Structure 1
């Protein structure tokens, strides 16, 4: 499959995923499915927050490219992450565990990363542990 076909396959996958039961829309074409709910206390991270989370990332073909599982949860300043994470995590509460679907344009775009071809829709399972 050439690069154009790969990008189109990723867009088609995300379009189909968006229509599935239980999949919710966020801004700019980011989607998510709730795996489990946390505190739901109305407290959400801001872009300047430092968040602690466990995560695993896949491409649409099921290839895992990164994971924090098996170690300690990772701490990040939210505004230093890809735009798709910033959009999704700002809507999460502590204890939420979501599967998040991020279009390529809000991930790494046309640029390849280790284990991630350019144009990839990104799938992340994210569990939010803390907000500072």
Structure 2
């Protein structure tokens, strides 16, 4: 949680949100009203992305006091201390989640590798051929490919899916995570594989989005539609 980012974002929207907390009476007809509502949505989305635990009533009270130039109810020092405490708590939770993800991923991959239909490469990539094609040319590292994919965590939670969007993805082979780079160069157009990618061949200790914790093994169903010429 980047609390330093959260402070200016909340402050930026404060001038437009003086009417918060009066949901039943809110009118959203004029340009200013719609813009104010949009600012509120942006603040809420930013808070959600940061993972901050915010008391909505207290947030609205702070905005109102700022706009109305009322006496500040909590000192700046207390506010700063509160942000620091929340940040430390969030960091501790994040570290625990990362350790948990690493352990779960390791256990999943070890068990998965025992299945007869799963093949394991020297890098640790695991794959299962769901649909095979005889003959054909595999793409090279600098080729562009069009694929359909469905990505989940090892617990089955979906984090990204071109299949669900109904729109294939197109990208250079060497422009994706290492597990994909390796697998795509072994696949042929028309084939569909299921990839089980260790964290070190995916995003490692980095969390690319709230949906993918750091140290997570990832599971993809990948269908190579064509090599784009």
TM class, shorter-chain normalised? over 0.9
Shift of 1:42: 4.3
TM-score, L = length of structure 2? 0.55
Relative to its length, the structure with more strand (as a share) is 1
Alignment of 1:44-55 (within 5 A): 44-55=138-149
What's the CA shift string for 1:65-115, capped at 9, x where partnerless?
000014221111011100000011110001100110100001000111221
Matched, 1:73 2:165: no
Structure (1/2) with the larger helix percentage? 2
CA RMSD of aligned residues (A): 1.4
TM-score by length of 1: 0.93
Q: Which runs of 5+ in 1 are unaligned?
A: none
Contact 1:102 1:121 in 2 (8 A): yes
CA contact (8 A) 1:26 1:87 kept: no
Q: Secondary structure of 1:45's partner?
A: coil
1:120 aligns with 2:120: no
Work out the number of aligned pairs and report it: 131
Secondary structure of the corresponding residue to residue 156 of structure 2: coil
Point out which structure has higher relative CO (alpha carbons under 8 A, 6+ apart): 1
1:59 paired residue number: 153
- SS state at 1:27 partner: coil
Q: Which residue of 2 aligns with 1:13?
A: 108
Q: Which protein has the larger Cα radius of gyration, Structure 1 or Structure 2?
A: 2
2-side partners of 1:81 and 1:107: how far apart?
9
